[in-house]
């Protein structure tokens, strides 16, 4: 899931390529590179590591061409070295590639037998040599790309730049996103509209299997069968948005603090605040005829799905199964044609989630997508969209998108409950009121940051951390552990508090912090018993609960974070805040890069 960009401009392309890559770094940051044409000749500059290394290189070796391509890498095939950095080149062209070419071994052997010398360990170099080979056979650049596309299997997006062709870029999409931007006598290609935002807000999206021949005069779109097709340029809202950190040290910190606002926006999308009722939702199936609901997602979005299960089962009395998309897509689960599957994704591009959606569609069943990027592949493919209005999320670890996903899941659950007659009008009004209170509660919780920092100080010296929770706090315990692992590299596990005695209790000692998420809900008493079990074994308990929780728990606490009093139903939306802040501050204290944790990427368009 790398980021790719192409510019057919009028001034020097390299600084603008770098500007676009900055907006794509969320897709990977193992290496970066750009290529331009100078008097028709290909010139490349590449660097290992983050984009700033490339910037330093470019300062010493500036590139002047007005046409160029750029890449920021998340390594799949081959180590993150400069040699494996894109663009990859032959004597005829350079290419940037996002995704995986699955049949690269066979193609590599075939090309090697023809005498092509591979300089890298990547699958991407195949994309360069295949087209070079077609050019050598006398084909035009467009025909050569088309012929090569038919030979590569996998999920990828590509942009080609050709030696001697000062007014031509060719882009292709097969399973990974690619957008074309239209400027004033200039044209652009990029993995998303955000990357192109500094240059244009007029963007067209390639559909699955499309490829595009782009010159300064415009773009010709063709489909997988080489038919010329129309892809409309639309004005994209991303055009106005600047990815800036403002006064914050990290995007993650900024995004954590944006939550009262974006949760508020998302609640307002689903709720008529005046009437204290839900706004109507256009269900792709009649909720009354449903027998079950499936939820499919990855990572933090999967955790949002797990919380959604509790709510849908409670409000709509429908059985819910939740799957990670990488399992779902290959398990070939039976799909109930009259059922409903909800896909949850911030980016709307996660390869496994997208493939699962295709599977459900191919089986003739209906889908709703809870997505943050309205123009994404998942949003466009699903039968209905339940948007999260978190705005662009740049920090790799999902924060504001997660809480907005929870709001959307809550609204869907309430909507299903009402439509099925399980919830009364009075229930709806009460629950909608509780949901509408969450932005204020989140704002109040953010004030606990100095106290959270103190706890983070203690966590930063731990080797392992255990998170416990019951009910909807259980998925939140999973999220707490996930966040801490990915940001601080401290090993952490999330467990259902009641399951403690079936294994992890063996780990309790005086060294391992046990973080208990204990909102006041009907199962809090049970959680107290589990804390006592930890306490009896000399464990270190860190409790996150409301003002009376510490008193009620009656155990020795190493630390207590007093959360605001609240109705428990939507507590996960509020309790997500200390969970996020804890991971963030632990990482910062330990000197880790909270925005770009090692080995991770924001948008995972590979499987
Ligand atoms: C990556 C990100 C996570 C995210 C997951 C799913 O692993 O680092 O923050 O939850 O992908 O991404 P999606 O865009 O589908 O929500």
Number of CB atoms found within 10 A of residue 525's CB: 11
Of the pLDDT bands very low, low, confident and very high (cuts 50, 70, 90), residue 243 is low
Question: In angstroms, rounded to a whole number, what is the distance separating the alpha carbons of residues 513 and 516?
Answer: 10
Q: What is the Å distance from ligand 1's center to 397 Cα?
A: 7
**DSSP secondary structure string for all residues of 46-97:** EEESSHHHHHHHHHHS----SEEEEEEE--SSS-S-STTPSPEE-SSEEEEE
- Residue with CA at minimum distance from ligand 1 atom 7: 299
Closest-lying ligand 1 atom to the alpha carbon of residue 600: 8
What pLDDT shows up at residue 101?
A: 84
Decide: 335 in ligand 1 pocket, CB within 6 A.
Answer: no
Summarised one tens digit per residue, pLDDT across range 245-269 is 667 889 999 999 989 888 988 998 9
Q: Is the pLDDT of residue 157 over 60?
A: yes
What pLDDT shows up at residue 99?
A: 83
- Residue with CA at minimum distance from ligand 1 atom 5: 299
Query: Considering the chain, what is the average pLDDT of its residues?
Result: 93
What pLDDT shows up at residue 607?
A: 65
What pLDDT shows up at residue 239?
A: 44
Rounded to 5 degrees, φ, ψ at 112 are: -65, -40
Q: In what order do the strands lie in the sheet with 234-235?
A: 41-48, 31-38, 67-73, 3-8, 187-190, 179-182, 202-205, 234-235
Token couple for 4: 């790719």
Burial class (CB in 10 A: 0-12, 13-18, 19+), 274: exposed
What pLDDT shows up at residue 1?
A: 64
Closest-lying ligand 1 atom to the alpha carbon of residue 300: 10
- Asked if 172 contacts 187 with a C-beta cutoff of 8 angstroms, the reply is no
Question: In angstroms, rounded to a whole number, what is the distance separating the alpha carbons of residues 508 and 533?
Answer: 10
Decide: 301 in ligand 1 pocket, CB within 6 A.
Answer: yes
Q: What is the Å distance from ligand 1's center to 396 Cα?
A: 8
Number of CB atoms found within 10 A of residue 242's CB: 10
Question: In angstroms, rounded to a whole number, what is the distance separating the alpha carbons of residues 333 and 523?
Answer: 33
Of the pLDDT bands very low, low, confident and very high (cuts 50, 70, 90), residue 240 is very low
Does the active-site annotation cover 404?
no
Of the pLDDT bands very low, low, confident and very high (cuts 50, 70, 90), residue 193 is confident
- Asked if 576 contacts 402 with a C-beta cutoff of 8 angstroms, the reply is yes
- Greatest alpha-carbon span in the chain: 81
Q: What is the Å distance from ligand 1's center to 349 Cα?
A: 9
- Asked if 246 contacts 261 with a C-beta cutoff of 8 angstroms, the reply is no
Q: Considering only CA atoms, which of 370, 371, 350, 353 is closest in space to residue 361?
A: 353
Q: Is the pLDDT of residue 554 over 90?
A: no
Decide: 171 in ligand 1 pocket, CB within 6 A.
Answer: no
| Domains along the chain with CATH numbers | 3-242 (3.60.20.10), 254-434 (3.40.50.10490), 444-589 (3.40.50.10490)
Question: In angstroms, rounded to a whole number, what is the distance separating the alpha carbons of residues 89 and 185?
Answer: 27
Q: Is the pLDDT of residue 51 over 70?
A: yes
What pLDDT shows up at residue 553?
A: 82
Pairing verdict, β 3-8 and 169-174? unpaired
Summarised one tens digit per residue, pLDDT across range 100-136 is 787 888 999 999 999 999 999 888 999 999 999 999 9
Q: Of 2-16, 405-419, 472-486, 521-535, which gets the smallest average pLDDT?
A: 521-535
Summarised one tens digit per residue, pLDDT across range 361-408 is 999 999 999 999 998 999 999 999 999 999 889 888 999 999 999 999
Decide: 65 in ligand 1 pocket, CB within 6 A.
Answer: no
Q: Is the pLDDT of residue 456 over 70?
A: yes
Does the active-site annotation cover 602?
yes
Stretch 516-540: mean pLDDT, rounded?
Answer: 88
Number of CB atoms found within 10 A of residue 406's CB: 30
What pLDDT shows up at residue 238?
A: 53
Token couple for 377: 């592949």
Catalytic position from the list 2, 22, 43, 309: 2
Best mutation site among 256, 347, 579 for ligand 1, i.e. most ligand atoms within 8 A of its Cβ? 347
Q: Is the pLDDT of residue 603 over 70?
A: no
What pLDDT shows up at residue 440?
A: 87
Summarised one tens digit per residue, pLDDT across range 293-350 is 999 999 999 999 999 999 999 999 999 999 999 999 999 899 998 899 999 999 999 9
């Amino acid at each position: 899931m790398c980021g790719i960009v192409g510019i057919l401009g009028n001034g020097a392309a390299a600084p603008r390529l770098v500007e676009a890559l900055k907006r794509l770094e969320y897709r990977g940051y193992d290496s970066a590179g750009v290529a331009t044409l100078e008097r028709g000749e290909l010139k490349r500059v590449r660097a290992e590591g983050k984009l700033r290394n490339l910037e330093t290189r470019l300062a010493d070796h500036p590139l002047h061409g007005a046409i160029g391509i750029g890449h920021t890498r998340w390594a799949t095939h081959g180590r993150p070295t400069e040699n494996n950095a894109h663009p990859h080149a032959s004597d005829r062209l350079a290419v940037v590639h996002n995704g995986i070419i699955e049949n690269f071994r066979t193609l590599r052997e075939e090309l090697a037998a023809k005498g092509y010398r591979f300089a890298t360990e990547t699958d991407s170099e195949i994309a360069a040599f295949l087209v070079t080979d077609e050019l050598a056979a006398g084909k035009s650049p467009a025909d050569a790309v088309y012929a090569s596309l038919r030979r590569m299997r996998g999920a990828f997006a590509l942009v080609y730049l050709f030696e001697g062709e000062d007014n031509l870029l060719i882009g292709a999409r097969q399973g990974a996103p690619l957008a074309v931007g239209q400027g004033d006598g200039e044209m652009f290609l990029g993995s998303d509209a955000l990357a192109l935002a500094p240059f244009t807000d007029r963007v067209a999206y390639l559909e699955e299997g499309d490829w595009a021949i782009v010159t300064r005069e415009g773009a010709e779109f063709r489909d997988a069968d080489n038919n010329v097709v129309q892809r409309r340029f639309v004005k994209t809202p991303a055009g106005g948005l600047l990815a800036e950190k403002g006064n914050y040290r990290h995007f993650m910190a900024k995004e954590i603090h944006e939550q009262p606002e974006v949760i508020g926006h998302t609640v307002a999308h689903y709720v008529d605040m005046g009437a204290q009722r839900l706004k109507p939702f256009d269900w792709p199936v009649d909720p009354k005829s449903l027998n079950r609901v499936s939820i499919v997602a990855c990572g933090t979005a999967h955790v949002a799905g797990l919380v959604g299960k509790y709510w849908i089962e409670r409000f709509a009395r429908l059985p819910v199964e939740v799957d990670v998309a990488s399992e779902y897509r290959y398990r070939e689960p039976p799909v109930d044609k009259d059922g409903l599957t909800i896909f949850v994704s911030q980016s709307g591009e996660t390869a496994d989630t997208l493939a699962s959606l295709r599977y459900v569609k191919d089986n003739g069943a209906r889908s709703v997508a809870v997505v943050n990027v309205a123009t994404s592949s998942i949003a466009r493919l699903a039968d209905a969209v339940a948007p999260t209005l978190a705005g662009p999320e740049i920090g790799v670890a999902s924060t504001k998108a997660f809480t907005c996903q929870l709001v959307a899941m809550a609204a869907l659950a309430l909507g299903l409950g009402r439509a099925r007659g399980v919830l009364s009008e009075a229930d709806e009004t009460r629950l909608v009121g509780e949901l509408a209170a969450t932005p204020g509660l989140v704002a109040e919780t953010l004030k606990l940051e100095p106290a959270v920092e103190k706890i983070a100080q203690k966590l930063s010296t731990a080797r392992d951390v255990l998170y416990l929770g019951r009910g909807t706090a259980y998925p939140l315990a999973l999220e707490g552990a996930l966040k801490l692992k990915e940001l601080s590299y401290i090993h952490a596990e999330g467990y259902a508090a009641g399951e403690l005695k079936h294994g992890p209790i063996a780990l309790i000692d005086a060294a391992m912090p046990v973080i208990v998420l204990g909102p006041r809900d009907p199962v809090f008493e049970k959680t107290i018993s589990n804390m006592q079990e930890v306490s009896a074994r000399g464990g270190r308990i860190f409790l996150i609960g409301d003002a009376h929780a510490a008193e009620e728990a009656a155990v020795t606490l190493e630390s207590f974070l007093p959360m605001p009093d609240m109705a428990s139903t939507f507590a996960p939306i509020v309790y997500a805040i200390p969970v996020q802040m804890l991971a963030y501050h632990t990482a910062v204290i330990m000197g880790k890069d909270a925005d770009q944790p090692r080995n991770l990427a924001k948008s995972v368009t590979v499987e």
